Structure 1
């Protein structure tokens, strides 16, 4: 089962769709046992880094990251990111590059 759970308020979704630059990272020690990682999407909003989405993921692979991107786009259809800063998670880098071919990626 490759279940994912995505959390964010209406205000957070509005911020997500109004900013251009994002930082993403996962953490592993704080998640319920049925999940593998908590993945957090931060946006740079009015000069501050603010969390805009939280996602509980069961796997750390391209299929899971693509499902996450698809879910975000479904809930935030006006999301047009310009850049992402992330760790060197190659599966996520590949998905972001394929989903948003004109963005800047840095790790």
Structure 2
């Protein structure tokens, strides 16, 4: 019968046998030697050996000093399945967890991490699997897909290296300042500020604020004086 495995949180192969988990210990001349994962917790010195062929079979095993924890083993299998579904399906995080929980035995559910923890696991697996786009070397290499015509973000700590400035425009309503527009500027010339404002006017012809507060950006101030 082929050996069964499940991965640990660190990605190591854990061998499953009769409700016990075993971690690879060392390699013999013609065999693999496995040790109980609870050798420190229970001072369990149980080891067993397996053949070195692809499927592997148990050659020799010793007695454990503690009872098996079948529910814990099954919980690890469920989490591994959760990770697989995160990669092979496009279901939402909530749906993956819901489907997983619905097919899991009650005794095993109690051994599973919290919903929040499982959600983070799914998101982490998906993020790791996605190949990030290459960093553009010039502004001309920057690719903006059609579905990303509008880009929204929160507070920026620093401007991306390709740009000279992140120019933000805020509105004031009900005694609250609201960030409305973020503009990544390639330079800080008067012409660039002119182009930026013309683009805003093009997208909203009725744009006509009765007052404007600016900082000490000299090029923008010069442009405003020309208007």
TM-score bin (small chain): 0.5 to 0.7
Query: What is the alpha-carbon distance in structure 2 between the residues aligned to residue 86 and residue 64 of structure 1?
Result: 16
Runs of 4+ in 1 over 4 A off after TM superposition: 6-9
The answer to whether structure 1 residue 43 and structure 2 residue 171 are counterparts is: yes
Q: Which has the higher contact order (CA 8 A, sep 6+)?
A: 1
Unaligned runs of 5+ in 2: 1-137, 141-148
Deviations 1:47-102 (A, max 9, x none): 11001100000101101100100111011111001111111212101222334xxx
Whole-angstrom CA distance in 2 between matches of 1:56 and 1:65: 11
Larger Rg over CA atoms: 2
Q: SS of 2:183's equivalent?
A: strand
Normalising by structure 2, report the TM-score: 0.31
User: How far did residue 45 of structure 1 move?
Assistant: 1.3
Paired residues, what number? Answer: 80
User: In the alignment, which residue of structure 2 is the partner of 1:18?
Assistant: none
More strand by share: 1
Contact kept, 8 Å, 1:7 with 1:54, in 2: the verdict is no
Task: Give the superposed CA RMSD.
Answer: 2.9
